[in-house]
Amino acid sequence: MSQSSLKAKMVLDKEYKIAPIDNRIYGSFIEHLGRAVYGGIYEPGHPTADSNGFRRDVLELVKELNVPIVRYPGGNFVSGYNWEDGVGPRESRPRRLELAWRTIETNEVGTNEFADWAKLANTEVMMAVNLGTRGIDAARNLIEYCNIDGGTYWSDLRKAHGYKEPHRFKTWCLGNEMDGPWQIGHKTADEYGRLAVETAKTMRQVDPSIELVACGSSHVGMPTFPQWEATVLEHTYEAVDYISLHQYYGNPQNDAANFLARTMDMDRFIRTVIATCDFVKAKKRSKKTINLSFDEWNVWYHSHEADSKRDPWSIAPPQLEDVYTFEDALLVGSMLITFLKHADRVKMACLAQLVNVIAPIMTDNGGSAWRQTIFFPYMHASQFGRGYALNAVVASPVYDSKDYTDVPYLDATGVYNEESEELTIFAVNRHLSEPLALECDVRSFAGYEIVEHIVLEHDDLKAVNRAGEANVVPHTNGRSAISDGVLEASLARTSWNVIRLAKRKGD
């Protein structure tokens, strides 16, 4: 193994656990926006479409990601959505002006169809209710339609629509980004908090088993952050289980060093929301802990210019179709590492979105589906990041960038799966030109050996994948070795690394 002048150390001990990882941190999001639904998961007449119009090629890629939960139907879309438009016979469903994204919504796909798709994709549904143009009444009717066995108006209507068994959706979002002036039905924190708590109480009367997510700030730069969270939780603390976080990052200035440091901002965002939740907990003398649902996150900026030129009122136009670069994949990897570092409080997260719209999976209408660069770190984390998040002790050289100081070149953490006796190290080398020599103390994992060292790397930070052009793909030729409880690895410059260890059979 070649020597590098850049060296970092890490200690991982199986006894030093942060928390068990809720698998739902590997969730995603499907909104009625652009080609996420129409031309994404659903395209009747496509060569791979099943009898319900769902694209089988897309489903296979979703299954590769092992997505445990998908948020639906929005997003900004939900704040103007009448859920009744999307149930019953398709030929009777209305076409509506969709004001959030200025398109025409055909309502060919609605609640029942999405429930069908979710079963095919082996995922749960995180359902959102409209607290923009609607409120308590529509929410109570929707949960009755979805979750009650029968014998009532709305549950019997579901049966009449061909769904004898209830969907039993467990997790529900109380609106979307209600702090945002762009949101249909935008509210102040007090207005939203009052509506959210009364909606929550009413929904729980229909189904006491549900989990509820209150709207947090739309992003860390909102002028009302974090007072919004404090005020909303003053109203809703005992009625909800989670508060949401949303955040997207971009690199319009083409400053890679600064871009790859954005998780410093994300970490502060999470810590501030945790502190705010715990302040309200203390103030209320509550024994309950509010956890976090980071139910929108990704890189998003490539498509802004194209989207600004779109004509309104078309059906499923290409919107928010970011073509992701290799450097985007590195940041996505670091964002996933950040969730794992906060596994004690971040219990759900949704990569926004899943198909075509700022997504790991892209399609051509009538044509192929393919994996974007960000597909791979998301897939690796979902596949191998199950178990306990470990409290990794890291000593790394640091750098300063335009917006951040003391940024570690090494961004890394470990996941211990007791059941399978496996240890996985996720690591990003942020250095733009030098490999990083990693020395990791794993003495508590006696008898473990390296299974594989997966690397995502490329000479060009701007390299992308397109239909038929898989330029950025992982390989398993990573350089690492273990001896006497010390793992040594060479992490290529600007690379995403997954080092998998497992206990030797017989030990």
CA separation for the pair 437, 273 (Å, rounded): 34
Closest CA to 330 of 495, 498, 500, 471: 495
Tokens of 291: 């956890």
Amino acid at 65: L
Burial class (CB in 10 A: 0-12, 13-18, 19+), 313: exposed
Partner residues linked to 369 by β-bridges: 363
Do 288 and 281 contact (CB within 8 A), yes or no? yes
Q: What pLDDT score does 264 carry? A: 98
Helical H segments across 152-290, by residue range: 153-160, 189-206, 227-236, 256-259, 263-284
Q: What pLDDT score does 353 carry? A: 95
The per-residue pLDDT string of the chain (507 residues; one tens digit each, 9 = 90 and over) reads 556 789 999 999 999 999 999 999 999 999 999 999 999 999 999 999 999 999 999 999 999 999 999 999 999 999 999 999 999 999 999 999 999 999 999 999 999 999 999 999 999 999 999 999 999 999 999 999 999 999 999 999 999 999 999 999 999 999 999 999 999 999 999 999 999 999 999 999 999 999 999 999 999 999 999 999 999 999 999 999 999 999 999 999 999 999 999 999 999 999 999 999 999 999 999 999 999 999 999 999 999 999 999 999 999 999 999 999 999 999 999 999 999 999 999 999 999 999 999 999 999 999 999 999 999 999 999 999 999 999 999 999 999 999 999 999 999 999 999 999 999 999 999 999 999 999 999 999 999 999 999 999 999 999 999 999 999 999 999 999 999 999 999 999 999 999 999 999 866
Tokens of 149: 């066995």
N residues, the chain: 507
Q: What pLDDT score does 507 carry? A: 64
| Strand intervals (E) in 73-204 | 96-98, 103-105, 124-129, 171-174
Domain ranges of the chain: 7-14+390-503, 22-384
- Whole-number Cα distances in Å, 36 to 43, 71, 218, 263, 365: 11, 12, 21, 27, 11
Catalytic entry in 113, 144, 296, 327: 296
Told to judge if 296 belongs to the known catalytic residues of this protein, a careful annotator would answer: yes
Closest CA to 234 of 280, 274, 278: 280
* Torsions phi, psi for 82 (to 5 deg): -95, 105
Q: What share of the chain is helix, strand, coil (3-state, %, to 5)?
A: 30, 25, 45
* Sign of CA pseudo-dihedral 37, 299, 245, 133: negative
Which pTM does this prediction carry? 0.97
Tokens of 424: 């996985």
Tokens of 436: 């990083």
Catalytic entry in 98, 113, 144, 177: 177
Tokens of 174: 């109380």
Closest CA to 489 of 444, 454, 440: 440
Report the top-level CATH class of 22-384. alpha beta
Do 302 and 358 contact (CB within 8 A), yes or no? no
Q: What pLDDT score does 5 carry? A: 82
Q: What is the rounded (10 degree) CA torsion for 324, 328, 333, 334?
A: -160
SS3 240: coil
CA separation for the pair 232, 216 (Å, rounded): 8
Told to judge if 177 belongs to the known catalytic residues of this protein, a careful annotator would answer: yes
Tokens of 319: 């919107």
Fold of 7-14+390-503: Immunoglobulin-like (2.60.40)
- Whole-number Cα distances in Å, 56 to 43, 117, 312, 368, 476: 10, 10, 30, 11, 28
CA separation for the pair 424, 8 (Å, rounded): 18
Do 56 and 48 contact (CB within 8 A), yes or no? yes
CA separation for the pair 477, 459 (Å, rounded): 16
